[in-house]
């Protein structure tokens, strides 16, 4: 299935694709360090850093949480 076809089907169901995409990116940016976020999604590090800043991410919290696992 092509992404354009999937997008049309989601719109027909009332799912706002861009809003859902941005919400997913914001959630990931809040939970992951920018470098991991960047590599995971293939984003440039500058873009990943901006997403992390907008999400209010604290990289020290990620390291502490990861260490507790």
Q: Return the C-alpha torsion angle 43, 47, 48, 51, nearest 10.
A: -130
Percentage of the chain with pLDDT > 70? 83
Question: For residue 67, what pLDDT band results from cuts at 50, 70 and 90?
Answer: low
Query: Which residue ranges make up each domain of the chain?
Result: 3-68
pLDDT of 47 above 70: yes
Angle between helices 17-31 and 3-12 (to 10 degrees): 110
Residue (of 61, 39, 37, 31) closest to 49 by Cα position: 37
C-alpha to C-alpha distance for 32 and 34, rounded to whole angstroms: 6
pLDDT at 52: 93
If one counts every other C-beta atom within 10 angstroms of the C-beta of residue 59, the result is 13
Residue 61 has pLDDT above 60, yes or no: no
Q: What is the pLDDT of residue 57?
A: 74
pLDDT of residue 39: 96
Place of tokens 């960047």: 38
């Amino acid at each position: 299935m092509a992404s354009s076809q999937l997008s049309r089907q989601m719109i027909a169901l009332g799912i706002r694709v861009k809003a859902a995409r941005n919400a997913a990116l914001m959630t990931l940016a809040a939970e992951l360090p920018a470098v991991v976020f960047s590599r995971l999604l293939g984003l440039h590090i500058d873009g990943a850093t901006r997403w992390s800043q907008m999400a209010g991410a604290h990289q020290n919290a990620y390291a502490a949480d990861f260490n507790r696992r």
